[in-house]
Structure 1
Amino acid sequence: MKKTVIPLKRLIPGLIIGPASWLGPYIVMNSLFLPALIQHLNAANKVNLVALFSTCGMIVAAISNMIAGALSDRTKSRFGKRAPWILGGATVFMLSMILASFATNIPYLLIAWMIGQSALNFIVAPMVAWLDLAPKDGRGTASSAYGGLGMALGNNGFTVIGALFLSQYRLGFILFGIFTLIGTLIAVLIVHEPSSTEDVKHQEKKGSTFSFKEITQIFPKWAIGRDYYLALIGKLFQGVGNFAITGYILYIMTDFLHRGSNTQSSIQLINTIMLIFGILMGFVAGPISDKFKILKFPVAFSTIFLALGAITLFLLRNNVGIIVYAFSAGIGMGVWNSLDNLLNLEVIPDPNRVAFFLGVYNLGNTVTQAIAPVIAALVISWFGFSAIFIVSFIFSLVGGISMLCIKSVKR
């Protein structure tokens, strides 16, 4: 059976608009509107409640991500495998955020937020699988569009607008929920997936149907999935190395570097430099990967830039150290975000379950954001702030070494 391919002129705009449309609103609501509403409803317990929402959200995200990926891999639709789930998830996410905006108590808000978290992952898992539709010689460019540009815009491009609605956070829930639906709809229309009915018929002829054996063997054994597991391990270690610093950047500036009144400007400088280099790498990393047929090496070596940035900030502890860290982390994360999904796509153990395995891999973002602060907090309490940079250095390098151990991707 001939593999479905979508031209880059359609795929790239969709891979930029799509992730920006769900990630941007989510970042704004999670970091601004949700804490504001929780504070309004129960100010005395706001810190513990934010932690509760975060923990419950991570659990719901992990479960729904795998389910969404598995279901979209099996979907028979004239609109394609991914589009029905993406639009369905966006619709439910919008409705749940509208419901959240009317919350008058914490249990109501928690239920609405968890429904939204589940729905969000029915966008995320199928959408990242669009990368598998890119032409063979354009996969790096497609991966850069998704991770380097779309995700960068989502992470950094919406917070400024969201801050304008901080005093009207209930309205913010509604508007950004609607934006998610509109943005994902535009992305789906641009990509315009072909029908998946023939794909499913082909799988059925091969006997690719659900069975008890398959359910009990969701993940393949090490001998089969070795390279996939190495990529997943690499992502987890790299993620901890990155978030160990970014999650405590405020306290690093105040308690370790003693920036005082310059704390805010220092953090803004770091974020600005990282955003610029993240977007720049999004433009160049993918095309360079396609042109020179290299993938494993730039992904693995990107962790060296993270490690270098961490150790420089530890050694210099001044403006030069801050700038070097921002440049190094910006380049490292820019290259990583642009290409790591593509590397994972190349080592997926079952080509019929692309969305499932990419979805599990992308859980590395959620899991590491939850794990890294815990590890960092323990290290800080035992050894002080200095040790956090050593942890970041070691974890980043281990992540890169894990990637280099992948055998099926030569370079």
Structure 2
Amino acid sequence: MSTLSPALPRTTDRRLLTWMFVMNAALLTCYAGFMVIFIPDQVQQIDPANKVGNLALVMTASSIGAIIIHPLIGAFSDRTRSRFGRRAPWMVISAATAAIMMVLLSGAADLWTLGVYWVLVMLALNALATAQAAIVPDRIARERFGAASGVLAMGTFLGMGLGVAGAGIFINSLGVGYATFGGMILIAALLFTVFNRDFSSRDMEVAPFRWKAFFSSFWVDPRSYPDFWWAFAGRFLLILAYQSVQSYLLYILRDYIGVSDEASTALSTPLTAVMLVGALATAFAVGKLSDRLARRKVFVIIASLIMGSALVIPLLSPTVAGMFALAAVFGLGYGIYLSVDAALMTEVLPTAQAAAKDLGILNIATTLPQALTPVVVWALISLTGSYTAVFTAGIVCAVAGALSVLPIRSVR
């Protein structure tokens, strides 16, 4: 378990948490808008007959890039020495790159071009997310980790709602929509770094750079840090369960529930809003409660079981009403999970000095499911011809995620 940085004064702490909420909301607005609406729709416009396989291809490619970029940018961020600190430079550069790539992505007319620009967008967004995540162990006190996790969760769910709703508005004007999303993420990053100035890192010690030592640092020995990998496994399984529904929401509505393309796009916003309400009802309160009780694992287990139960609903009721019930219950469980996720991940870090790198490794548990989900969903649908197997697999992953946190010993 790491020795973590002392917190900032309380007033600054409140301001930092507020801006972390805003920044995370901006990030998730981009993630949700592109992954749920923009990219699936753009892929379908290019080749409607092969949309499932093509979406799997571009999403897998972008997720593989994210898997690489998370720990890599984290390691470089840990080593950055500048008057602007270790995190702020990477946040601004990443946001600017994402904005430029989004504008270029809007003009993609073939699958290859779309895939290249989408990968670059995701590389930039995930680099930004990696730098931001390290702010929690850098600047928040341990007894406030749950509150910070709850704030990040609230930003996540607000961003999901705004992203899907915003993308739905711009679905017929991709150029304007992509530019709007790009401008939003850049402005959010600039304002965050201005109002929450990072500490200068010029006087911090840093080991001489050696390629062998640099790359060997990415290996976290499971024998020495088993809790790190159990937390990784739990997050991986729960995100896999989540992605099986969220990433294929449009196609589930169209191909499993049987609504039209236009109606499915219109339904995406209220469905996401219902999930958002359920999540927001629990996120911050559960995060603070976990601080008060000094417990994380029990909330992860409860969340996992709720999410698994929610995935039973569309199996029993493959209707629009069933999808709304799924969204409400699933959102409740996912809100509980995210309210303690960041706290749990921060508390199993091996060292504070390499926080961004190690959080980057843990973030692979978020991006790897994004790479695997399209392939798994495509394979299950190809074999069974139905989304029934997809929901069943999601239930199994959710239950397994609950079991994965039980062996963690350093966190209650």
Bin for the TM-score computed over the shorter chain:
0.7 to 0.9
Aligned match of 2:91: 86
Aligned-partner Cα distance in 1 for 2:4–2:48? 60
Greater shift, 43-52 or 387-396, is seen at: 43-52
Q: What SS does structure 2 have at the residue aligned with 1:222?
A: coil
Aligned-partner Cα distance in 1 for 2:216–2:4? 30
Aligned-partner Cα distance in 1 for 2:44–2:373? 25
The alpha-carbon deviation at position 398 of structure 1 amounts to: 0.8
Q: Supply the AA of the counterpart residue of 1:401.
A: L
Q: From the superposition, tell whether residues 5 and 211 of structure 1 become closer, same or farther in structure 2 (CA, over 3 Å).
A: farther
Q: Supply the AA of the counterpart residue of 1:121.
A: N
Q: 1:134 aligns with which of 133, 140, 146?
A: 140
Aligned-partner Cα distance in 1 for 2:300–2:85? 31
Is this contact kept in 2: 1:33–1:172, CA < 8 A? no
Aligned match of 2:402: 400
Is this contact kept in 2: 1:17–1:184, CA < 8 A? no
Aligned-partner Cα distance in 2 for 1:270–1:164? 15
Q: Supply the AA of the counterpart residue of 1:196.
A: S
Aligned match of 2:348: 347
The alpha-carbon deviation at position 253 of structure 1 amounts to: 5.5
Q: From the superposition, tell whether residues 208 and 287 of structure 1 become closer, same or farther in structure 2 (CA, over 3 Å).
A: farther
Aligned match of 2:312: 311
Question: TM-score, structure 1 length as denominator?
Answer: 0.85
Q: Supply the AA of the counterpart residue of 2:403.
A: I
Q: What SS does structure 2 have at the residue aligned with 1:223?
A: coil
Q: What SS does structure 1 have at the residue aligned with 2:224?
A: helix
Aligned match of 1:162: 167
Segments of 5+ residues of structure 1 without an aligned counterpart are none
Q: What SS does structure 2 have at the residue aligned with 1:167?
A: coil
Compare the two structures and name the one with the higher helix fraction. 1
Considering Cα pairs closer than 8 Å and 6+ residues apart, tell me whether 1 or 2 has the greater RCO. 2
The alpha-carbon deviation at position 210 of structure 1 amounts to: 4.2
Q: Supply the AA of the counterpart residue of 1:371.
A: L
Tell me, yes or no, if structure 1 residue 215 matches structure 2 residue 246: no
The alpha-carbon deviation at position 322 of structure 1 amounts to: 5.0
Q: 2:151 aligns with which of 130, 138, 145?
A: 145
Aligned match of 1:298: 299
Greater shift, 76-85 or 27-36, is seen at: 27-36
Q: From the superposition, tell whether residues 105 and 259 of structure 1 become closer, same or farther in structure 2 (CA, over 3 Å).
A: closer
Q: From the superposition, tell whether residues 20 and 324 of structure 1 become closer, same or farther in structure 2 (CA, over 3 Å).
A: closer
Q: Deviations over 1:92-144 (max 9, x none)?
A: 22222334445576655544443333222221111011111212221111111
Aligned-partner Cα distance in 2 for 1:96–1:380? 32
Q: Deviations over 1:341-395 (max 9, x none)?
A: 2101111123221112212222323321332343344445556554444322221
Tell me, yes or no, if structure 1 residue 75 matches structure 2 residue 80: yes
Aligned match of 1:225: 225
Is this contact kept in 1: 2:164–2:269, CA < 8 A? no
Aligned match of 1:368: 369
Q: From the superposition, tell whether residues 260 and 216 of structure 1 become closer, same or farther in structure 2 (CA, over 3 Å).
A: closer
Tell me, yes or no, if structure 1 residue 60 matches structure 2 residue 61: no
Q: From the superposition, tell whether residues 258 and 165 of structure 1 become closer, same or farther in structure 2 (CA, over 3 Å).
A: closer
Q: Supply the AA of the counterpart residue of 2:151.
A: A
Q: From the superposition, tell whether residues 2 and 54 of structure 1 become closer, same or farther in structure 2 (CA, over 3 Å).
A: closer
Aligned match of 1:189: 194
The alpha-carbon deviation at position 44 of structure 1 amounts to: 7.2
The alpha-carbon deviation at position 190 of structure 1 amounts to: 2.6
Q: What SS does structure 1 have at the residue aligned with 2:120?
A: helix
Q: From the superposition, tell whether residues 347 and 246 of structure 1 become closer, same or farther in structure 2 (CA, over 3 Å).
A: same
Tell me, yes or no, if structure 1 residue 25 matches structure 2 residue 36: no
Task: Flag the structure with larger Rg.
Answer: 1
Is this contact kept in 2: 1:311–1:393, CA < 8 A? yes
Aligned match of 2:102: 97
Question: TM-score, structure 2 length as denominator?
Answer: 0.85
Segments of 5+ residues of structure 2 without an aligned counterpart are none
Q: CA RMSD in A?
A: 3.3
Aligned match of 1:244: 244
Is this contact kept in 1: 2:307–2:329, CA < 8 A? yes
Q: From the superposition, tell whether residues 2 and 276 of structure 1 become closer, same or farther in structure 2 (CA, over 3 Å).
A: closer
Is this contact kept in 2: 1:310–1:392, CA < 8 A? yes
Q: Deviations over 1:184-207 (max 9, x none)?
A: 111222322222233x22xx4xx5
Q: Supply the AA of the counterpart residue of 1:218.
A: F
Is this contact kept in 1: 2:106–2:178, CA < 8 A? yes
Q: From the superposition, tell whether residues 388 and 53 of structure 1 become closer, same or farther in structure 2 (CA, over 3 Å).
A: closer
Aligned-partner Cα distance in 2 for 1:293–1:10? 23
Q: Deviations over 1:19-47 (max 9, x none)?
A: 2223313433455445666677x557873
The alpha-carbon deviation at position 319 of structure 1 amounts to: 7.9
Aligned match of 1:280: 281
Aligned-partner Cα distance in 2 for 1:392–1:310? 7
Q: From the superposition, tell whether residues 118 and 271 of structure 1 become closer, same or farther in structure 2 (CA, over 3 Å).
A: closer
Q: Supply the AA of the counterpart residue of 1:184.
A: A
Q: 1:13 aligns with which of 18, 26, 32?
A: 18
Aligned-partner Cα distance in 1 for 2:268–2:106? 31
Aligned-partner Cα distance in 2 for 1:51–1:289? 37
